[in-house]
Amino acid sequence: MLNLEKAGDGVRVLHMRDGENRMNRTWLDGMNALLEEVEHDPAARALVTTGEDRFYSNGLDLEWLLLPGTEDIREFVVDAEALLARLLGFPTTTVAACNGHTYAAGAMLALCHDYRVMRADRGYFCLPEVDLGIPFTAGMDLLVKTRMPLNVAHDLMVSGRRIGGEEAMALGIVHDAVAEHEVLASAVELAGRLGGKDPAIIGPIKRRMNAATIELLLASQGTAPA
Left if phi > 0, otherwise alpha if psi is -120 to 50, otherwise beta: which for 21? left
**Residue 165 located in a structural domain:** yes
In three-state secondary structure terms, 14 is: strand
- The whole domain housing 136 covers 2-218
**Residue 225 located in a structural domain:** no
CATH number where 176 lies: 3.90.226.10
**Residue 16 located in a structural domain:** yes
**Residue 110 located in a structural domain:** yes
Q: Which of 118, 157, 128, 138 is nearest to 60 (CA)?
A: 128
**Residue 223 located in a structural domain:** no
Distances, alpha carbon 16 to alpha carbons 48, 128, 195, 218, in Å: 11, 22, 21, 24
Q: What is the pLDDT along the chain (226 residues), one digit of tens a residue?
A: 899 999 988 999 999 999 999 999 999 999 999 999 999 999 999 999 999 999 999 999 999 999 998 999 999 999 999 999 999 999 999 999 999 999 999 999 999 999 999 999 889 999 999 999 999 999 999 999 999 999 999 999 999 999 999 999 999 999 999 999 999 999 999 999 999 999 999 999 999 999 999 999 999 999 999 8
